[in-house]
Amino acid sequence: MNHKKQLSIFGTEFPLAHGGSLQTFQLRYETYGTLNSDLSNVVLILHALTGWPAAHEWWHGLVGKGRLIDPEQYFIICPNFLGSCYGSTGPESINPSTGVPYRASFPTISTRDIAKANLQLLDQLGIAGVALGIGGSMGGMVLLEMAALDPNRFRAIIPIAVSGEHSAWRISFSSTIRNAITAADPSLADTDKLSAGLHLARQFATISYRCSQEFDSRFARHESEGIFEIENYLRHQGEKIVERFSPYSYLTLTKAMELYELRNAEAITCPSLIVGIASDILYQPAEIERFAARLPQGQYVTLDADHGHDSFLVDADTLAQIIEPFINSVIVESTLEEFTIA
């Protein structure tokens, strides 16, 4: 399916929204498919907090041959976020001023900084127009920031499980999660201790990403060797994140999410389908529906799934079914006026 792993390097100073700058930065990204002659078949996919550029691996219900976002039809781009640890510049990168990794000295970044970096990537690739932008959770935040910064860039967007700001409710989860990491080593110098903190932090986070209905039906009060199965599940989630993610990147990106506040949603003039999730305790459907009403061409639909905030990843097949009419209307058929959601 013409899948490529690529890297773009940007050599000019990159100022940051909350002060400071990066002397230089790079973005790792992956592409699928072939760009057509008039550059009109670009789909931009933006991953969630700990995601990576290989979209077909974590969104295989949506991306791939024969799927809704098919590389035989579209030219798909999935960049790794600035601040992450999958090849883009982040805390584990070498600070050119010191010759050693940034780690705790990596500057504060915002979702808008990440959006600006992604727009620079599109500029470098010569892509002035994106047929569809799609992303969930943090990916939805970055997508909305991109569309607000450059509304003429997108023909349509689908932000999922996200509204216009990180509320006090979400900050309460996020700050507690970050505190679990920093409490393990307040100096932020011992990577092993911070990884142990990340192990616990991810367990807290997983509780917020799922919902009580799923846990009750899936685990109930079942035990294995004297340990509740839900405890084993949460411990496993902690082990997995420690194996694949940097605690410094986790701190950097969760802080960026806390700072998220889309102040100019009205600037997003392209057709926008905003997806809420029935069982999401972080972004409840009513909040997302109110946010959708702020967008000039915003429409709202609910994903009826039982896996909480993570449903857009776990229930990707169902997600594809509810967003397909929108994609067909605004991208394939270009007849938004005729589009309605039942």
- Based on the domain organization, do 23 and 151 belong to the same domain? yes
The one-letter amino acid code at 335 reads: T
pLDDT in tens, the chain (342 residues): 799 999 999 999 999 999 999 999 999 999 999 999 999 999 999 999 999 999 999 999 999 999 999 999 999 999 999 999 999 999 999 999 999 999 999 999 999 999 999 999 999 999 999 999 999 999 999 999 999 999 999 999 999 999 999 999 999 999 999 999 999 999 999 999 999 999 999 999 999 999 999 999 999 999 999 999 999 999 999 999 999 999 999 999 999 999 999 989 999 999 999 999 999 999 999 999 999 999 999 999 999 999 999 999 999 999 999 999 999 999 876 533 433 433
- Based on the domain organization, do 148 and 180 belong to the same domain? no
Helices 138-149 and 247-259: crossing angle in degrees, nearest 10, is 50
Counting the structural domains of the chain, the total is 2
Active centre residues (catalytic): 137, 280, 309
The Cα 108–Cα 96 span in angstroms is: 17
Comparing CA positions, the residue from 317, 272, 302, 303 lying closest to residue 67 is 317
- Based on the domain organization, do 215 and 250 belong to the same domain? yes
Q: What angle do CA 133, 54, 245 make, to 5 degrees?
A: 110
- Based on the domain organization, do 230 and 269 belong to the same domain? no
Give the DSSP letter of residue 90. Answer: S
- Domain boundary residue, one of 225, 257, 289: 257
Q: What angle do CA 76, 82, 86 make, to 5 degrees?
A: 70
The Cα 284–Cα 43 span in angstroms is: 27
In terms of residue numbers, what domain contains 194? 169-257
- Domain boundary residue, one of 227, 257, 287: 257
Backbone angles phi, psi at 84, to 5 degrees: -85, -170
- Domain boundary residue, one of 228, 257, 286: 257
- Based on the domain organization, do 114 and 217 belong to the same domain? no
Give the DSSP letter of residue 152. Answer: G
CATH code of the domain containing 196? 1.10.1740.110
- Based on the domain organization, do 204 and 69 belong to the same domain? no
- Based on the domain organization, do 174 and 253 belong to the same domain? yes
Give Dmax over CA atoms of the chain in angstroms: 62
Residue 9 Cα to chain centre, angstroms: 21
- Based on the domain organization, do 57 and 202 belong to the same domain? no
